[in-house]
Amino acid sequence: MLVENGLVCSNGILSDDVRFMIIQAPKVVEIAQPGQFVMVKKEEGSTFLRRPFGIADVNKAEGKLLLIYRVAGKGTKELANMEPSSEISVEGPLGGGFKFAEAELAGEGKTLLIGGGVGIAPMIYTARHLAEANPENKPVFLMGVRNADELFWQEYLQDFTDSIEVTTDDGSAGRKGFAIDALPDILAKYDIKHIKICGPTIMMEGLAKMAMEKGIECQVSLEKRMACGIGVCLGCTFEGKQSGKRWKICHDGPVFPAEEVFA
Ligand SMILES: Cc1cc2nc3c(=O)[nH]c(=O)nc-3n(C[C@H](O)[C@H](O)[C@H](O)COP(=O)(O)OP(=O)(O)OC[C@H]3O[C@@H](n4cnc5c(N)ncnc54)[C@H](O)[C@@H]3O)c2cc1C
Ligand code: FES
């Protein structure tokens, strides 16, 4: 884990409240793994604490990091107002990221990646990782978003996926409903051996329970407000359902086996 003085390369608009930021931070990028996150803060900004964001994608050759973030409150409003060439402090990569089985990377069976809302962000780098390991057998992606204004995610995902299934809350694109409504059809169509999910807890719970019922290996990426991000403040703990252990999401996760969270 490092703290690096990054440089904002671009900071743009994707929808009414979602933004992307590309940051030059070569040291963090060099060791970043899919499913890990960073804590960022504007140098001399107004927030004391850094804010956590999933590593949406990396360009290792150029040392660049992509974040995709929803403008929620003080910290993200400040990020949204940053101009190119501003300095941004990047702490990371944090957490452990997704685990990939050897057979999965060798392309046996299919992996289903599921993202909900800004939880789609860390799944881009995850999809890239699987697609680069196995260009002949890329993952299937299921994305659940609010409406057709949030279809911009497809452009980030299309090169790394064999197919993208979309659900929208209002039916303005793809299938009307939630990601869980689309899961049975996907499981019937593909030989899914692994599922990785990041999104709101309520969404992940239904999906993970269906995966567990079918005996499909499933990992979920959890999110909780984080103060320190490095396992010190104990602000992000939960009790594992199977082990009974008190896990720190920032340090031991944010990715956990579905059974440990929802069994
Ligand atoms: C590991 C991790 C990865 C994340 N990745 C992303 C990402 O890739 N893209 C993205 O847009 N967001 C992501 N988040 C959420 C993001 O960190 C928060 O939205 C951000 O910290 C809000 O900061 P703020 O100062 O703008 O809002 P605040 O002023 O602190 O709060 C504004 C509102 O957002 C809510 N909020 C704050 N933090 C969280 C949180 N962690 N989870 C849920 N609600 C929160 C508050 O309850 C409040 O309602 C991630 C969070 C974690 C823990
Ligand atoms: S945020 Fe401090 S222990 Fe996880």
64 lines ligand 2 (CB under 6 A): no
CA 151 – CA 232 distance, rounded (Å): 38
pLDDT digits (tens, 9 = 90+) for 176-203: 999 999 999 999 999 999 999 999 999 9
CATH number for 102-221 (one of 3.40.50.720, 3.40.50.80, 1.10.760.10, 3.40.50.1110): it is 3.40.50.80
Ligand 1 touching residue 48 (CB < 6 A): no
The response to whether residue 203 sits with its C-beta less than 6 Å from ligand 2 reads no
Give, in order, the Cα–Cα distances in Å from 189 to each of 112, 183, 185: 12, 10, 6
- CA 69/CA 87 separation, integer angstroms: 18
Find out whether the beta carbon of 49 lies less than 6 Å from any atom of ligand 2: no
- CB 122 within 8 Å of CB 34: yes
Taking Cα atoms as reference points, which of 139, 115, 252, 230 lies closest to residue 193?
A: 139
Average pLDDT, the chain: 95
Mean per-residue pLDDT for 209-213? 97
Residues 164-175 have pLDDT tens digits of 999 999 999 999
**pLDDT over 90 (residue 109):** no
Fold designation for 2-94: Elongation Factor Tu (Ef-tu); domain 3 (2.40.30)
Q: How far is the CA of 170 from the centre of ligand 1 (A)?
A: 24
In the chain, DSSP assigns E strands to: 2-13, 18-24, 37-42, 51-54, 57-59, 64-70, 87-94, 110-116, 140-145, 163-168, 175-176, 192-198, 217-221, 237-239, 246-248, 255-257
| pLDDT-wise least confident of 46-50, 64-68, 131-135, 160-164 | 46-50
Distance CA 139, CA 234 (A): 35
Q: 1: which DSSP letter?
A: -
Q: What is the pLDDT of residue 49?
A: 86
d(C-alpha 27, C-alpha 30), whole Å: 5
> Residue ranges per domain, the chain?
2-94, 102-221
- pLDDT the model gives residue 156: 98
Q: Write out 22-40 in H/E/C secondary structure.
A: EEECHHHHHHCCCCCEEEE
* Rounded average pLDDT over 97-105: 94
Residue 107 pLDDT exceeds 90: no
- The residues, ordered by sequence, that sit 6+ positions from 240 with a Cβ below 8 Å of its Cβ are 246, 247, 256, 260, 261
Q: Phi/psi of residue 237, each to 5°?
A: -90, 160
Under 8 Å between Cβ of 92 and 57: no
- The alpha carbon of 36 and the centre of ligand 1 are apart by a number of angstroms equal to 15
